[in-house]
Chains A and B, each alone.
Chain A
Amino acid sequence: MKRSLIALSSLACGMAFASAPVGKPAPAFNVTDLAGKPVNLADYKGKTVVLEWNNFGCPFVQKHYKSGNMQALQKKYGKEVVWLAVNSTTRESSDYADPMTLDKQLRDFRAEPARYLMDEPGQMGMAYGAKVTPHMYIIDPSGKVVYNGAIDDKRSTNPEDVKTSKNYVAAALDELKAGKPVTTASTTPYGCTIKYK
C-alpha cells in the first residue's frame, strides 16, 4: 500500500527521483523485455537479482563490454543469480536505441544478461535512483537491496583499467554466496548520466 502510494505520487509529480538505499526493500518494477514480455521483480522472489543499467552508446559501458568484463560476470554468475540489464534512456535522446538495435548489440558483444529490460519512460530507473550507466544494484532473495553503486573502483573509460580494478559487484556476489554480509555495500556509481525524459 505504502509503496503504491509512493509510485502514485511520483507519477503525479513526473520527475520524482527516489532511491533504493542498501538495507531497504527493493522498489517493485513492471517493465517489458526486448521481446515485449512483462517482467516484474516479484517474478524473481527468492532469488538474488543483479540490475545493470545499460546504454551501449556510453563510453563507460563500452569499457566493460569491449574488455569482456561485463560478459564474463554475466556468464560466471548467471547460473546462480538473475542478471537483468536495464535501459532507461528516453526516446528523445540521441542515445536511444530500439529493441532491435539492442538485440543486435547484445549479440555482437556476446552479452548474456538473463533479460534486457526496456524502461523507456524511465520509471524504474527513477524509482531506484539510477544515475549513470553502468549503475549496479544487487537484490538479495528476501527482496532487500544489498549493493548499490559502481561496478568497480577505477572510475575511467579505459578498458585496460579493468585488469587492475577491484570489482565491487563480484566481491558482493561472492560474499552473498558464502552467506556473509556484503562488506562494501554502497559506493559512488560512475558513468554517463542516464538520459531521462
Chain B
Amino acid sequence: MTFQGLTRLFVAIAALAWGAAVHAAPVVKTEHVEAQLVAEAVTAQPGKPVLVGLKLRMAEHWHTYWKNPGDSGLPTKIEWVLPEGWKAGEIQWPYPRPLPIGPLMNYGYEDEVVLLSQLTPPAGASGAQTLRAKAEWLVCKDICIPEKGELDLTLEVGPAEPKPDPRNVGSIERAKGMLPVAAPGWKSESSLSAKQLVVRLTPPPGTSPPKQVSFFPEREQLIEPAAPQKVTREGDSLRIEMKLVEPPPTNVTRVAGVAVAEAGWPGIGRKAIAIEAPVSTQPIAAAGSTSAARPASAQIDGSVLAALGFAFLGGILLNLMPCVFPVLGIKVMGFVEHAHGDARAMRLQGVIFAAGVVLSFLLLAGIMLALRAAGGQLGWGFQLQSPLVVTLLAGLFFLLALNLSGVFEWGIFAQSLTSNLSAKGRYADALLAGVLATVVATPCTAPFMGAAVGFTLTQGAGLALLVFATLGAGMALPVLLLALFPALLRRLPRPGAWMETFKQVLAFPLYATVAWLVWVIGAQAGNDAVLALLGGLVFIAMGAWMYGRWDHSPGLWRPTVAVLFAIAGLAIAWPAPQGSAAAGGASARAGELAWQEWSPEKVSQLTGGGQAVFVDFTAAWCVTCQVNKRVALHDAEVMQAFAAKGVVPLRADWTRQDPRITATLAALGRNAIPVYALYTPGSPDPQLLPEVLTPSIVIAELSRLPAAKPAATTLTQRPGGNE
C-alpha cells in the first residue's frame, strides 16, 4: 500500500471515528433515481469554498437533463437551504451527451451525473454544519416523471486542512473531469446567416484540431438540436455548421456553449471545452470563397470606436440633407442677426441647441429600444413605417415651408424660429430647433449610418444609446461651432434684405420633402391616401393663409379659425387604420430590372436551383435606396450584367413593417437599409455590397460570377403563389 493509500485509509478510519458528523449523506430513492449529496471533503475550513455535488443515479435507459435540455425536458434544479452566512454558487454542469428520441433530440445524462456547486462557509463558522438541498429533476425514458427530493449532508467546519472524502473521490473527480474548461490559445468565432450558425475554432500554432466535434449551445431556440452538425477542416481550423431554428433568433451577439471531442482536445487533455464566441456581422467564409475581396468602403468590423466614429461622421453629413438643411439654415441666420450682440448668450444658445438634438436622438433611440424589448421587430427608420407618422411629418414640413415662403408669421402662438424676443424665448427656441432638426433628420439615413446603427442594435442598450448620442453630437457640431466661435459668422454677409430671399429659397427643399413624403404614403397606403393627404394639406394651407392674412386683427377668432382649419386638415389626411395597399413593387417596368418579390424561401429555392440572386432591401422612405436605384441599379450596363450572369433581382420592400425582413437583416448583422446582398448557389452566406452603390461596384461584384446557364434564365416563377 502506498503512502497515499495509507493516508486515505487513515482518513476513512478517522472519519468513522468522528461519528455523526461524517455519516454518509442519506440517499433519497425515487422510482427511477437515487439521489445523494456528495462533498469533496469531510471537513471544510471557514471562509474557504468546498465542492458539493448532487449525485443522481438514473435507472437504466432513463435520463435527466443538461441546462439546455434540447427539444424538450427540464433542467435539474437545486435550491440550497444553508446555515446562516453560507453562500452557494451556480450549478457547474458536466458536458451533456446527445440523446436522440425519434426525430427529436435532447441534451442530458444517463446512468450517473454529479452536478457540482461551490459552497462557502462564513469566516466565523465552526462545528458540524448541515447543508440541505431541495432538488427537482425530470427523469424520462419513453415517458417523463417529475421527481424531487430533500437532501442533506453534514460537514465539520474547522481549522484543519480538508482531506478528500474517499467515498466520493471517484464521483467528484469524474464530474470535475467532465466540466468544460477554457481553451487557452484557441480562437473561437461565429457567424449567423439566415439559416445557419457557423462556429469556427482555430487552435494555437502547431496544434491540430480533433476530427469529430459536437457543439452544445447554452441558449435554447438557437439551433435545431436534432439537425446533424457538419464539421469540416478548413486549414488549421475546424468549422462547425449548424441549422438555425426557424424563424432565426434575433439579438444573438455571442454564442456560448460546450464543444465536445470524444477523442479529447489536444494540448488540453479534456473532452469538453467552453466556447464563448462573439458573433461577427460578416459571414465566416467557407474554404475557397472570395469574400475577402469585398469592397470595404462602408463596412464596420464591429469595433465600438469605429461605430462611434461612423456615427459622428454620419451625424455631420445629416446637416446637408434636404430635409434638415433649411431648419439649420434658419438657425444659423438667427445667429447672423445676433452675431454682433451678446456672445455669451449665443454660446449658451448653441449649447442648448446641441443638447436638444442629442436628447431627441436619445429619446427616439430609447423608444425604439423599448419597442424592440417589448418584442417589436423594428429597425432604424421604423418611425416612417407608420403612415400616421408620415402624414404628421408631411403636415409639419408643409407648415414650415409655408412659413418660410412668407404666407404667415408665427406670432404669439409659438416663438418664431428667428425670434428676437426675450432671452428666455431664444433659449426655448434653440431647444425647439434642436428637437425639430432631429425629427426632420430621421428620414434621411446618411451613408455610414446603416452599418453603425445595425451594429449598435446587436450590442447592449447602453452602447446603442451612446452611438445615438454620438450621432446627435455629430449633427449638432456645425451649429455648435458657429455659436462657440462667432468670429466665423462675421465672414457671412451682414444681415439685410438677402436674408428674406434666402429664407424663401429655403422653402423649396421643404416642399420637395413634402412631395417625397406624399409619394411614401402612396407606396404605403395607396392612391386614396395620397388624395386624403393632399386634401388635408390644402386645408392646412388655408388655415395658414388666414392666420397670415389678418395678421393685425385683434381677438381670438384668427388663431381659433386657423387651428380649426389645421384640425380639419389633419382629420382629412389622417390615414385609415391598417391602410391596405396592394403588395407592391414587384412588377417590371420598362427601363428597369424585372424585380420580383422577395421571400426567404424564394432565395433558397433559386440558389438551390443554381441561380445567383441579388436582393435589394429597400423602402420608399429610404432616400439612399432611391438614389442607388436610379444611379446604379437601373444603369444600362448594370442591367446588362444582370442579364449576362442570369442573376435574379429580388426586392425586399420594408416600406411597411415586415418581421421576416427585419429578421433577415438581423441575421446579416444589419438593422437599417439600404442593404444589398448577392447570394450565389452553394454558399449560404451572401456577399454584402456597400450602402452607396455605383454602377462599377455592382458590375465588379457581378463579374465574379460565372456566366449564366442558358436554361436558368427562363424563369417564370409567380411571386407568392400560395399565400
A interface list, Cβ under 8 A from B: 1-3, 15, 17, 19, 21-23, 25, 57-60, 90, 93-95, 126, 131-132, 155-158, 183-186, 188-197
Q: Give A87 Cβ to nearest chain B Cβ, in Å.
A: 14
Question: Do A95 and B71 touch (CB < 8 A)?
Answer: no
Q: Give B577 Cβ to nearest chain A Cβ, in Å.
A: 9
Question: Do A25 and B247 touch (CB < 8 A)?
Answer: no
List chain A residues, Cβ under 8 A from B140: 192-193
CA distance A21 to B723 in the complex (A): 14
B68 closest partner in A (C-beta): A188
List chain B residues, Cβ under 8 A from A90: 102
B221 closest partner in A (C-beta): A188
Q: Which of these, B104, B220, B247, contacts A193 with CB under 8 Å?
A: B104
**In the assembled complex, B722 has its CB within 8 A of some CB on chain A:** yes
**In the assembled complex, B703 has its CB within 8 A of some CB on chain A:** no
A187 closest partner in B (C-beta): B221
Q: Which one of B141-149, B393-401, B432-440, B445-453 is at the interface? A: B141-149
B interface list, Cβ under 8 A from A: 71-74, 101-104, 106, 138, 140, 142-146, 220-221, 226, 245-247, 374-376, 659-660, 721-723
Q: Give A169 Cβ to nearest chain B Cβ, in Å.
A: 15
Question: Do B660 and A23 touch (CB < 8 A)?
Answer: yes
Question: Do B659 and A23 touch (CB < 8 A)?
Answer: yes
List chain B residues, Cβ under 8 A from A59: 138, 144-146
Q: Which of these, A3, A158, A195, contacts B722 with CB under 8 Å?
A: A3
Q: Which of these, B144, B245, B376, B721, contacts A58 with CB under 8 Å?
A: B144
Question: Do B722 and A157 touch (CB < 8 A)?
Answer: no
A157 closest partner in B (C-beta): B146
Q: Give B459 Cβ to nearest chain A Cβ, in Å.
A: 23
Given A131-B71, A186-B247, 4 extra CB contacts under 8 A? A132-B71, A190-B74, A193-B72, A194-B104
List chain A residues, Cβ under 8 A from B101: 193, 195
Q: Which of these, A3, A94, A184, contacts B375 with CB under 8 Å?
A: A184
Q: Give B645 Cβ to nearest chain A Cβ, in Å.
A: 27
Known: A157-B74, A193-B72, A193-B140. A22 touches B146 (CB 8 A): no
> Which of A3, A93, A131, A184 is the most central at the interface, judged by chain B CB atoms within 10 Å of its CB?
A131
List chain A residues, Cβ under 8 A from B721: 1-2
Known: A19-B246, A25-B723, A131-B104. A57 touches B146 (CB 8 A): no
A143 closest partner in B (C-beta): B723
Q: Give A9 Cβ to nearest chain B Cβ, in Å.
A: 13
Q: Give B388 Cβ to nearest chain A Cβ, in Å.
A: 15
> Which of B140, B247, B721 is the most central at the interface, judged by chain A CB atoms within 10 Å of its CB?
B247
A129 closest partner in B (C-beta): B246
Q: Give B415 Cβ to nearest chain A Cβ, in Å.
A: 39
Q: Give A46 Cβ to nearest chain B Cβ, in Å.
A: 16
B659 closest partner in A (C-beta): A23
Known: A25-B723, A59-B145, A94-B142. A188 touches B102 (CB 8 A): no
CA distance A132 to B73 in the complex (A): 9
CA distance A94 to B61 in the complex (A): 15
List chain A residues, Cβ under 8 A from B226: 17
Majority-rule SS of B interface residues: loop
Known: A23-B660, A126-B103. A94 touches B74 (CB 8 A): no
List chain B residues, Cβ under 8 A from A15: 102-103
Question: Do A196 and B146 touch (CB < 8 A)?
Answer: no
Q: Which of these, A3, A95, A157, contacts B142 with CB under 8 Å?
A: A95
Q: Give B222 Cβ to nearest chain A Cβ, in Å.
A: 10
* 7 nearest A-B pairs in the assembled complex, by CB-CB distance: A157-B146, A196-B102, A193-B72, A17-B103, A132-B72, A21-B246, A192-B144
Known: A2-B721, A25-B722. A190 touches B221 (CB 8 A): no
Q: Give A168 Cβ to nearest chain B Cβ, in Å.
A: 11
Question: Do B722 and A2 touch (CB < 8 A)?
Answer: yes
Q: Give B707 Cβ to nearest chain A Cβ, in Å.
A: 29
CA distance A183 to B659 in the complex (A): 12
List chain B residues, Cβ under 8 A from A21: 246-247
Q: Which of these, B143, B220, B247, B374, contacts A94 with CB under 8 Å?
A: B143
B71 closest partner in A (C-beta): A131
List chain B residues, Cβ under 8 A from A131: 71-72, 104
Question: Do B138 and A157 touch (CB < 8 A)?
Answer: yes
Q: Give B176 Cβ to nearest chain A Cβ, in Å.
A: 28
CA distance A94 to B660 in the complex (A): 40
CA distance A185 to B660 in the complex (A): 13
CA distance A3 to B343 in the complex (A): 73
List chain A residues, Cβ under 8 A from B723: 25
Question: Do A193 and B73 touch (CB < 8 A)?
Answer: yes
CA distance A135 to B580 in the complex (A): 33
CA distance A102 to B605 in the complex (A): 42
List chain B residues, Cβ under 8 A from A156: 74, 146
CA distance A158 to B374 in the complex (A): 27
Q: Which of these, A19, A155, A185, contacts B74 with CB under 8 Å?
A: A155
A57 closest partner in B (C-beta): B143
CA distance A114 to B387 in the complex (A): 40
List chain A residues, Cβ under 8 A from B104: 17, 131, 193-194, 196
B660 closest partner in A (C-beta): A23
Q: Give B144 Cβ to nearest chain A Cβ, in Å.
A: 4
Question: Do A193 and B375 touch (CB < 8 A)?
Answer: no
Question: Do A195 and B102 touch (CB < 8 A)?
Answer: yes
B99 closest partner in A (C-beta): A193
Question: Do A197 and B72 touch (CB < 8 A)?
Answer: no
CA distance A3 to B723 in the complex (A): 11
CA distance A73 to B220 in the complex (A): 27
A19 closest partner in B (C-beta): B246
List chain A residues, Cβ under 8 A from B146: 59, 156-158
CA distance A190 to B74 in the complex (A): 8
CA distance A123 to B375 in the complex (A): 32
B578 closest partner in A (C-beta): A179
Q: Give A93 Cβ to nearest chain B Cβ, in Å.
A: 5
CA distance A131 to B71 in the complex (A): 6
CA distance A21 to B659 in the complex (A): 12
A16 closest partner in B (C-beta): B103
CA distance A8 to B146 in the complex (A): 38
List chain B residues, Cβ under 8 A from A94: 142-143
Question: Do A188 and B246 touch (CB < 8 A)?
Answer: no
> Which of A58, A155, A192 is the most central at the interface, judged by chain B CB atoms within 10 Å of its CB?
A192
> Which of B102, B138, B376, B721 is the most central at the interface, judged by chain A CB atoms within 10 Å of its CB?
B102
CA distance A162 to B245 in the complex (A): 27
Question: Do B71 and A193 touch (CB < 8 A)?
Answer: yes
List chain B residues, Cβ under 8 A from A195: 101-102, 142
CA distance A189 to B303 in the complex (A): 36
